Amino acid sequence: MSNQAPLLEIKDLHVSVEDKKILKGVDLTINQGEVHAIMGPNGSGKSTLSFCLMGHPRYTITQGTMLYKGQDIQELETNERAAAGMFLAFQYPTAIPGVTVANFLRAAMKGVRGEEVPVREFRNTVKQHLKSLGIKQSFMNRYVNDGFSGGEKKRIEILQMSVLNPALAILDETDSGLDIDALKTVSEGINALRGEERGMLLITHYQRLLNYVSPDFIHVMVDGRIARSGGPELALELESKGYEEFRPATEAKA
């Protein structure tokens, strides 16, 4: 049995935003090679967890720890977490007018590596992933997410993840706003990156993403806590029964 530290270990995590408690004691462990999915209703704290993991300054940790490869990351800046191998795909990717996708990707690779990426290596890496994701080469000359459709934005997020090759990939509602064709393409990109050297955390409302990306573990988050964990079958139970039975008794009666 390996003595290697978990890729991500969250213990009793409490998080507030402007004095409002959002996370109220989250425990989660992800090992290399594992894909975990967090499902839950709006306002349950799913996106808060993803932002907190990447060091968003708006979120205040009031209790608990977040260990990445055994290291407490609470004091690390977002760029330092990215350089260590953490990646977040946003639910609502931001447009960056004036910055081309090519320049953005190359700057991101430089930031993660801490050095310039040779032009030939960059071109070959990007070309390979463009083809696998069905993205036209012409997108490299467009401004990041400027005028992109929802599906195009999510494809570019997966392209970033593919190029940066993180050890821990956090995908915050990547399936949001996608039609069935875009969902299939994005799912294929996610599945292509599964491997023993990487862990993934998928955050989603619905079971439909999990029709294409089968997680090893599913966690139900309600009211800032993980109310239940299980295998892939838990997603089907949620689809048929909803989240009501996972709510605290006092909340359910309200």
List, for residues 149-205, the tens digit of each pLDDT value. Answer: 888 898 899 999 999 999 999 999 888 878 888 888 889 889 988 999 999 999 988
Q: Domains in the chain, ordered, with CATH?
A: 8-253 (3.40.50.300)
Q: Give per-residue pLDDT as tens, 125-136.
A: 999 999 888 889
- From CA 189, how far away is CA 161, in angstroms rounded? 9
Q: Which residue has the higher pLDDT, 2 or 97?
A: 97
- From CA 251, how far away is CA 254, in angstroms rounded? 5
Which pLDDT score is estimated for 3? Answer: 65
Q: For tokens 């994005």, name the residue.
A: 186
Mean pLDDT confidence for 23-52: 95
Label the pairing between strands 71-72 and 143-144.
unpaired
Contact between residue 88 and residue 112 where contact means Cβ atoms under 8 Å apart? no
pLDDT above 60: residue 250: no
Residue 24, C-beta contacts closer than 8 angstroms, at least 6 positions apart: 14, 45, 223, 224, 225
Q: pTM of the entire structure?
A: 0.90
